Structure 1
């Protein structure tokens, strides 16, 4: 997982890689979420859509997993 700032309204954006594909996770209205940090293993659930040719999930439900 990598984090990057998102322009405009406050949002936390993370790029999640599962070993085969990448998806952007975006939490609107958040700048930080405890436990969400680069390299952390996360299980995410939600509706996947496409934005600018990339898979994205807005405000996903998530579960922090033990580190790798």
Structure 2
């Protein structure tokens, strides 16, 4: 594999499990949002959600946002970003994300 191809592949992390991630690590996670937390109306705050992947939960935080269109409890979400350590645990800050469709078993 060429250096350019290796560099391109290194930029996109493989899908990680929440139970295996650590601070200062670039991750790609996939799971279901269990809850969302809105900042108070009068504060700048941050919008956050709890992502659960079957191995554990991690907070996903959008700094300076009161909401993010399409983000609500119960959706399937793929996120990529940097994990940081905060006083209340690990979180992914300002991730890129993709809302995944819900798969139904209709016959």
User: Which category describes the TM-score, using the shorter chain as reference length?
Assistant: 0.7 to 0.9
- Larger RCO (CA under 8 A, 6+ residues apart): 1
SS in 2 for 1:37: coil
- Say which one has the larger Rg: 2
Paired position in structure 1 for 2:79 = 44
Deviations 1:10-63 (A, max 9, x none): 311001000111110110121111110010110000011111251101101101
Q: What TM-score, normalized by structure 2, do the two folds share? A: 0.57
Aligned residues: 68
Q: Is the 8 A contact 1:43 1:63 kept in 2?
A: yes
- Stretches of structure 1 that go unaligned for 5 or more consecutive residues are none
| Structure 1 outlier segments of 4+, above 2 Å | 5-10
Q: What TM-score, normalized by structure 1, do the two folds share? A: 0.85
More helix by share: 2
- Stretches of structure 2 that go unaligned for 5 or more consecutive residues are 1-32
More strand by share: 1
